[in-house]
Chains A and B, each alone.
Chain A
Amino acid sequence: MTILFNYMNISIFLFLVSILGIFINQKNILVMLMSLEMMFLSVNFNLIAASIHLDDISGQIFSLLILTVAASESSIGLAILVIYYRIRSTITVELMNLMKG
């Protein structure tokens, strides 16, 4: 039980750190994407720990699916980033302010 809590604590900690990474970061969009990846990883970690503890395979299947989703997502995101950089020649988050309400 305590082992599970340790695993889960780590994953939640990792999740919060990644949220803070998105939250606090004002400059670089790459850091935001990395934090996003870290978020996926922490969720995967949590799922795997729960799957081991509950002795159920579906958590691991989910984690595998999420890995593929995360990979595709990061590839698409990086592609958008590249196109953005090609047009604006900057990737600073602060300057992405064209979508005012």
Chain B
Amino acid sequence: MYLCIVLLPLLGALFSGLLGRWIGSKGSCILTTFCVLLSGVFSGIAFFEVGLSGTIIHLILESWIESGLLIIKWGFLFDTVTVTMLIVITWISTLVHIYSISYMETDPHRPRFMCYLCVFTFFMLMLVTADNLLQMFLGWEGVGLASYLLINFWYTRLGANQSAIKALVVNRIGDFGLSLGIFSVFCIFKSLDYSIIFSTVPFFDNYCFKFLGFNCDGISLIGFFLFIGAMGKSAQLGLHTWLPDAMEGPTPVSALIHAATMVTAGVFLMIRFSPLLEFSTFLLSVLVIFGSLTAFFAGMTGIFQNDLKKVIAYSTCSQLGYMVFSCGMSCYEVSLFHLTNHAFFKALLFLSAGSVIHAVNNEQDMRRMGSLVNFLPMTYSLMLIGSLALTGFPFLTGFYSKDFILELTHSTSFCNLDLLYSSLALWLGSISVLFTSFYSFRLIYLTFLNSNNSNRIILSNIHESPWLMSLPLILLAIGSLFFGFIAYDLFIGLGTDFWKGAIFVLPNHNFYIEAENLPIFIKWLPFLVSILGIFLASLVNITYIYKFFLLKWYKISFFWVYLINKKWFFDTLYNRLFVYPILNFGYLTSFKALDRGFIELAGPFGLSNLISKWSSLIFRIQTGQMTHYIFYIIVSVCIFSIIYIYKHILLVKTLHLLIFYFFLVFFI
């Protein structure tokens, strides 16, 4: 059963991809959905057995690579972290499969789409169930590949191609970091098995080696490389630019990959490596800094985005920032809990957005929507549930994880534990709560409540989604309403023994009890801030007061709005600083000046050119005049006799000849 969880999606993908022509569009939909559904049921049972009954399963199959010290076996580890991820992946994936049966109904390539979705699910399951780093890397690269294929699903669109390439390349930067991390893990621990690495980490505490004259801390180095990998996959600040562009793919793809599962792989990696990260305070600080900056940046950028899906994409990015800085504060359980909850409400938000887009004839710009609440009451209520859960409205799912993360940042500033930068996370996290509620409700207002801006033809054709699209939405809404409350005590309740060693936290990094005893005002603070955000959004959208501000301080507001709308010019900066110089270097320097230039000139082209030039020179000496021939005979007899006499002076060495030749190459 445990292997079936992983292999069933592969089976579905193979059947749908290879035999899609024969089993047909509907057949492949039913087959893949059934496979993923069965996998979801099995992972539910696995959650019961592993998580609730406490039997950790570790399956070891055939050996994969055996070479000296490097022994890697196909192994599947089902501990509590894995089964939690399994629940998220398979359930969300099942719902997205069901959703996309209807969403992609008129698409001619539906079997291919279902195959890719299944492939993605399989690789994601490989990633989370692996018991060694290499197998994890297989899944890691596989989800990158599946992401490429899915973003590029409508491959005739230029935008989709560009976004897919961008996603793959930016992810590959992170993957390079991750592979360096794997190499350094093997270099230090001489093994890639999680069990061996995690049990021997304390022995390598303060393990240093010299590199370029610097003393590198081994654990920090490994963690840093792994974090670069997580940065690429989880779209942390710096390598986040691919995520908003990945919205070019179909909406179920955005829901599955860029909201619920793939982007959480980086956070999963951090959670999985908690026994290693705990021994490096440097790395925890890095996580906090990057996570909080990402949360802040993405929250701020989400405010002035006008694309319905991009707003949600930035909200994803922001929530990933929350997860990462909560990892940095050694609250891996909370991070994983937030990951699970976030998967539910973010998938809900994305799929509802897909439903809206579907209803208004594939229009994604929020400025051309409005007053859809009269036409799509059910989608509106579902999206409202998603948004409230996202803003951390009390007793919805987001409340239990997100507010607890913020309380944890507070608790570090109230106690004297040695966690640096937690006040940074505190401030940036609290401000991003404001941003989150602001853009969520801006989205609600612009799409559903403000007066309508679209044309009459679209409005006459507007309709609620069919039941196959509504059913997953309703299930996800139930998840976003109740999952946090149900799972709160199990996941992060005080003294829960759910995790059973899958997550390791050093005793002096543990401050849950402090977080439970915060002043009451601080416990209220996230709620108050998010209410403030909702209030501001209402104020701006109902009274149009912002137009007054825009006109009054035109220049200043123009600058800020422009800066935020253009995503802080990250893309422009990256293009100017990295992409174009590297492209230019690749074409002008590496290709034109070196490969086709110097090497060609010193090599085949220059040599042949030189010989032909010389031969034509000698050719011209033979004029046909007999007197000239006589002249040459006599003169050369003289010259050669002189050379023979003075040969000890005129002896030319081979090296000089070569240099002379290279000199000549450039002038002939």
Chain A contact residues, CB within 8 Å of chain B: 19, 22-23, 25-26, 93-94, 96-101
- Partner-contacting stretch, out of B106-114, B350-358, B626-634: B626-634
Taking CB atoms, residues of chain A closer than 8 Å to B544 are none
Q: Which of B612-653 contact A (CB under 8 A)?
A: 618-627, 630-631, 634
In the bound complex, CA of A19 to CA of B627 (Å): 12
Question: How many residues from B make CB contacts under 8 Å with A?
Answer: 13
In the bound complex, CA of A3 to CA of B618 (Å): 47
> Given the interface contacts A23-B634, A101-B619, does A93 sit within 8 Å of B627 by beta carbon?
yes
In the bound complex, CA of A56 to CA of B631 (Å): 36
* A26, A98, A99: the one within 8 Å of B627 (CB): A26
> Are B626 and A93 in contact, CB atoms less than 8 angstroms apart?
yes
> Are B623 and A97 in contact, CB atoms less than 8 angstroms apart?
yes
Taking CB atoms, residues of chain B closer than 8 Å to A101 are 618-624
> Are B625 and A97 in contact, CB atoms less than 8 angstroms apart?
yes
| Known pairs A99-B624, A101-B622 / 19 extra A-B pairs, C-beta < 8 Å | A23-B627, A23-B630, A23-B631, A23-B634, A25-B627, A26-B627, A93-B626, A93-B627, A96-B626, A97-B623, A97-B625, A100-B622, A100-B623, A100-B624, A101-B619, A101-B620, A101-B621, A101-B623, A101-B624
> Given the interface contacts A23-B630, A23-B631, does A94 sit within 8 Å of B621 by beta carbon?
no
Chain B nearest CB: distance from A4 CB in Å?
24
Q: Which residue of B lies closest to A26 (CB)?
A: B627
Chain B nearest CB: distance from A44 CB in Å?
21
In the bound complex, CA of A23 to CA of B620 (Å): 21
Q: Which of B37-67 contact A (CB under 8 A)?
A: none
Chain B contact residues, CB within 8 Å of chain A: 618-627, 630-631, 634
In the bound complex, CA of A98 to CA of B621 (Å): 14
- Please classify the interface of chain B as helix (H, G, I), strand (E, B), loop, or mixed, using the class held by over half of its residues: helix
In the bound complex, CA of A98 to CA of B624 (Å): 6
Q: Which residue of A lies closest to B619 (CB)?
A: A101
Chain A nearest CB: distance from B176 CB in Å?
61
In the bound complex, CA of A98 to CA of B618 (Å): 18
Pick 24 A–B contacts, CB within 8 A, sort by A: A19-B634, A22-B630, A23-B627, A23-B630, A23-B631, A23-B634, A25-B627, A26-B627, A94-B625, A96-B625, A96-B626, A97-B623, A97-B624, A97-B625, A97-B626, A99-B622, A99-B624, A100-B622, A100-B623, A101-B618, A101-B620, A101-B621, A101-B623, A101-B624
Q: Which residue of A lies closest to B621 (CB)?
A: A101
In the bound complex, CA of A75 to CA of B177 (Å): 92
Chain B nearest CB: distance from A86 CB in Å?
19
Chain A nearest CB: distance from B625 CB in Å?
5
Taking CB atoms, residues of chain A closer than 8 Å to B624 are 97-101
Taking CB atoms, residues of chain A closer than 8 Å to B619 are 101
Chain B nearest CB: distance from A97 CB in Å?
4
In the bound complex, CA of A23 to CA of B631 (Å): 7
Q: Which residue of A lies closest to B630 (CB)?
A: A22
In the bound complex, CA of A100 to CA of B620 (Å): 9
In the bound complex, CA of A94 to CA of B631 (Å): 14
Taking CB atoms, residues of chain A closer than 8 Å to B630 are 22-23
Q: Which residue of B lies closest to A100 (CB)?
A: B624
Taking CB atoms, residues of chain B closer than 8 Å to A19 are 634
Taking CB atoms, residues of chain A closer than 8 Å to B631 are 23
Q: Which residue of B lies closest to A24 (CB)?
A: B627
Give 6 nearest A-B pairs by CB, closest first.
A101-B622, A100-B624, A97-B624, A99-B624, A96-B626, A97-B625
In the bound complex, CA of A23 to CA of B627 (Å): 7
In the bound complex, CA of A26 to CA of B630 (Å): 11
Best-buried of B618, B621, B623, B626 by chain A (most CB within 10 Å): B626
Q: Which residue of A lies closest to B626 (CB)?
A: A96
Chain A nearest CB: distance from B613 CB in Å?
16
Chain B nearest CB: distance from A96 CB in Å?
5
In the bound complex, CA of A98 to CA of B623 (Å): 9
Q: Which residue of B lies closest to A101 (CB)?
A: B622
Chain B nearest CB: distance from A15 CB in Å?
12
Q: Which residue of B lies closest to A98 (CB)?
A: B624
In the bound complex, CA of A25 to CA of B625 (Å): 12
Taking CB atoms, residues of chain A closer than 8 Å to B622 are 99-101
In the bound complex, CA of A19 to CA of B620 (Å): 25
Chain B nearest CB: distance from A42 CB in Å?
16
Taking CB atoms, residues of chain A closer than 8 Å to B634 are 19, 23
Chain A nearest CB: distance from B627 CB in Å?
6
Taking CB atoms, residues of chain A closer than 8 Å to B620 are 101
Chain B nearest CB: distance from A23 CB in Å?
7
In the bound complex, CA of A94 to CA of B628 (Å): 10
In the bound complex, CA of A14 to CA of B157 (Å): 94
Taking CB atoms, residues of chain B closer than 8 Å to A94 are 625, 627
Taking CB atoms, residues of chain A closer than 8 Å to B627 are 23, 25-26, 93-94
Taking CB atoms, residues of chain B closer than 8 Å to A26 are 627
